[in-house]
Structure 1
Amino acid sequence: MSKRVLAAMSGGVDSSVSAALLKAQGYEVIGAMMRFWPDNKQDDCFETCCSPDAAYEARRVADIIGIPFYLLDYREEFQAKIIDPFIAGYQAGQTPNPCVNCNTRVKFDSLLKKARMLGCDYVATGHYVINRDGGLYRGDPKKDQTYFLWGTPKEAIPHMLFPVGHLEKPQVRALAEEFGLPTAKKPESQNICFVQGDLKDFLAGHIVARPGPLIDLETGQQIGEHSGAQFYTVGQKKGLGLWKSHLERYVVQVNTATNEVIVGPREACLWGGLEAREVNLLVEPADLPAQLEVQVRYRTRAVAASVQEMSPGRMTIRLLEPQFAVTPGQSVVLYQGDRLLGGGFIEKPLYNLWNQTSHQCLQHLG
């Protein structure tokens, strides 16, 4: 008897090819798209990967492959688990990554539960991730998406399939052409799916913010005015509104409690460690290597690090190579070579490497 798979279909080429490959390999495939867009929004309120048009494309693909297709209603859950925490994160001066929450709390939690209700053995997605020997490993280096899956429950891994995880993007598009899928040349979605246009405009529609001072770290003096502390992120250089006569400045800290944005030299954004919360490990704590690699942003490379302290759900990490803009709300993801070990949300950076002793404003980096 063939294994039954619930294939998550977004209307993009990766998930389309994943479903087609599974069908070709003899699985009993059920296609499903998670509906996130609300009734009171226009059709273009969500990015191409999650829009009503994308649902139409996914249904066309399912028809071509010859599998049933269902549109599953996750509007309330997406609002409560993804959009609301995203807005709350910015309100608190953090920079959250909603894709991590979506994979953890929706795709490999709620969708896996739905799969079990439908009698499915697996959930499959179009992520560039390799599931091997009970662990998750990096896929194509140019497209690797393990960074977004650190929150996956360890017990879910045996029930996860990534049919395109071992492939490169051009190979996936070539397979889509071979299968005759209409998504073969569909462009990739690069933005946050529920944010159309400028992120600041989106946040301004949900957050009450007020102008406040830009404080220079070196002098302690106000050197400009921001439009709302919640709209800024650590490491930001553009959009500060400073005259060219000022020295080059970056956002070092966002303090929504005092409505201050602290700016300083690039060196002040270099950190040698961090504290993480809501830590999830895909291996036993005792199996963590003494030296591992961590990645503090999706597009940054992994660097050597060590775990200094650990308690349930929390971790203190020492970075053996300073990192720029270690940002509260972002993820720190742990690796051993290509294997994903787990991760957590950055609560605060530690061990600032800027030469503070010659400056006045130590209190601002508390």
Structure 2
Amino acid sequence: MGKRVLAAMSGGVDSSVSAALLKEQGYEVIGAMMRFWPDNKQEDCFETCCSPDAAYEARRVADILGIPFYLLDYREEFQEKIIGPFIAGYRAGQTPNPCVNCNTRVKFDSLLRKARMLGCDYVATGHYVINREGGLYRGDPRKDQTYFLWGTPKEAIPHMLFPVGHLEKPQVRALAERFGLPTAKKPESQNICFVQGDLREFLARHIETRPGPLIDLETGAQIGEHSGAQLYTVGQRKGLGLWKSHLERYVVRIDVARNEVVVGPREACMWGGLEAQEVNLLLEPEELPERLEVQVRYRTRPVPARVEEITPGRFSLRFEEPQFAVAPGQSAVLYHGERLLGGGVIVRPLYNLWEASGRPPRHLG
């Protein structure tokens, strides 16, 4: 296999250093940025990682490194595969993760096909992920991004490079300084790239909503009013508009058909397991260990779990310790130690601890 690589460049420090390291290691590097932002940015403004300014920075880095640079038009594909399903998920009362879809359906699918058309053997990104011995492993624990790559096709892994995966962020910035890159001190982008500002304002522009009741799980009584059921997420506490005199309440369930948001105590958001669909495994089902770890949100820690049932495209599992706010639409990502095993999209949580404790809710929906 040759050493020609298409380096995905976002105009940030991680992808810039990745391209620089690859060139230093003797690869023939072609820089490319995927254009997602529309011509008219009045309605939806893209974050700094996906903008004309970012493209300018990426091109400056490519010029400094002496590598060719292409701006690839993925506007229609991004709308179809990422933004559209994101809005549809919220419209259905789910909490989708667009970064998972972007990596699965665009970066390591469409971009990999483009790389092959350009005669490249690899696609490289600035993810904090380690690719070794045909598997994907966690990088810097504070920056690890394997959670977003569970949907990667197994056959793509040999063609994926992560030059900064074994480094920590301060080391990456120091390398950027050494290479003389203008992105060395560029701040990180933490938000959804196509949502600048308040997420609820973005959703309200795309989803028809109407006010409805906030229903208390324990009493069945209306204790407030929401501004649209699709604008909330399971486990949410802030922004419910409840008076301080009320007991602390969290979103337990979203009923889009009834336009109701059910709230209750934190204990009512604790679950003992989940069911997931759209499953992708990076090994054969029979190779899954009896005991593994599962992570149900990006910022939560993995917890031990056991798979109860697995069929093509679906699995259910039980946690060894309860998990808070297991939200439909989010990803259930499987690990064995540091190794990424795959994952799926949560369709429903299982084994509610509140109900199992003998305190059934009065409002069942």
Give the TM-score range, shorter chain.
Answer: over 0.9
Q: Where in structure 1 do 4 or more consecutive aligned residues deviate above 3 Å?
A: none
Tell whether the 8 Å contact from 2:103 to 2:152 is kept in structure 1 after alignment. Answer: yes
Q: Give deviations 1:68-120, integer Å, cap 9, x for gaps.
A: 00000000000000000000000000011100000000000000000000010
Once the two structures are TM-superposed, the CA of residue 239 in structure 1 deviates from its matched residue by 0.7
Once the two structures are TM-superposed, the CA of residue 243 in structure 1 deviates from its matched residue by 1.0
CA spacing shift, 1:216–1:22, aligned 2, 3 Å: same
- 1:144-293 residue pairs with structure 2 within 5 A? 144-293=144-293
Partner of 1:302: 302
Partner of 2:315: 315
Partner of 1:358: 359
Q: Secondary structure at the match of 1:332?
A: strand
Distance in 2 between residues matched to 1:106 and 1:171, nearest whole Å:
28
Q: Give deviations 1:202-228, integer Å, cap 9, x for gaps.
A: 001000000001010000111111000
Tell whether the 8 Å contact from 1:212 to 1:259 is kept in structure 2 after alignment. Answer: yes
Partner of 1:339: 339
CA spacing shift, 1:11–1:239, aligned 2, 3 Å: same
Partner of 2:68: 68
Structure 1: gaps spanning 5 or more residues: none
Q: Secondary structure at the match of 2:271?
A: strand
Amino acid at match of 2:152: T
Distance in 2 between residues matched to 1:186 and 1:52, nearest whole Å:
15
Q: Secondary structure at the match of 1:357?
A: coil
Distance in 1 between residues matched to 2:85 and 2:43, nearest whole Å:
23
Amino acid at match of 2:111: L
Q: Secondary structure at the match of 1:205?
A: helix
Q: Secondary structure at the match of 1:358?
A: coil
Once the two structures are TM-superposed, the CA of residue 41 in structure 1 deviates from its matched residue by 1.6
Q: Secondary structure at the match of 2:55?
A: helix
Distance in 1 between residues matched to 2:342 and 2:263, nearest whole Å:
32
- How much is the aligned-residue C-alpha RMSD, in angstroms? 1.2
- 1:121-140 residue pairs with structure 2 within 5 A? 121-140=121-140
Distance in 2 between residues matched to 1:189 and 1:244, nearest whole Å:
34
Q: Secondary structure at the match of 1:257?
A: coil
Q: Secondary structure at the match of 1:60?
A: helix
Amino acid at match of 2:99: C
Amino acid at match of 1:268: A
Amino acid at match of 1:358: R
Q: Secondary structure at the match of 2:85?
A: helix
Q: Give deviations 1:237-259, integer Å, cap 9, x for gaps.
A: 01111111111100000110110
Tell whether the 8 Å contact from 1:333 to 1:343 is kept in structure 2 after alignment. Answer: yes
CA spacing shift, 1:44–1:97, aligned 2, 3 Å: closer
Tell whether the 8 Å contact from 2:354 to 2:360 is kept in structure 1 after alignment. Answer: no
Distance in 2 between residues matched to 1:362 and 1:309, nearest whole Å:
30
Tell whether the 8 Å contact from 2:17 to 2:172 is kept in structure 1 after alignment. Answer: yes
Q: Secondary structure at the match of 1:305?
A: strand
Once the two structures are TM-superposed, the CA of residue 357 in structure 1 deviates from its matched residue by 2.7
Once the two structures are TM-superposed, the CA of residue 27 in structure 1 deviates from its matched residue by 0.3
Distance in 1 between residues matched to 2:337 and 2:261, nearest whole Å:
37
Q: Secondary structure at the match of 1:363?
A: coil
Distance in 2 between residues matched to 1:359 and 1:313, nearest whole Å:
32
Identity of aligned residues (%): 84
CA spacing shift, 1:26–1:44, aligned 2, 3 Å: farther
Tell whether the 8 Å contact from 1:44 to 1:51 is kept in structure 2 after alignment. Answer: no
- In the superposition, the TM-score normalised over structure 1's length comes to 0.98
Once the two structures are TM-superposed, the CA of residue 45 in structure 1 deviates from its matched residue by 1.2
CA spacing shift, 1:44–1:279, aligned 2, 3 Å: closer
Distance in 2 between residues matched to 1:288 and 1:20, nearest whole Å:
37
Distance in 2 between residues matched to 1:43 and 1:204, nearest whole Å:
12
Once the two structures are TM-superposed, the CA of residue 347 in structure 1 deviates from its matched residue by 0.4
Distance in 2 between residues matched to 1:43 and 1:207, nearest whole Å:
14
Q: Secondary structure at the match of 1:233?
A: coil
Q: Give deviations 1:30-64, integer Å, cap 9, x for gaps.
A: 00000001112259811010100000000000000
Aligned length, in residue pairs = 364
Q: Secondary structure at the match of 1:89?
A: helix
Tell whether the 8 Å contact from 1:306 to 1:318 is kept in structure 2 after alignment. Answer: yes
Distance in 1 between residues matched to 2:360 and 2:96, nearest whole Å:
31
Structure 2: gaps spanning 5 or more residues: none
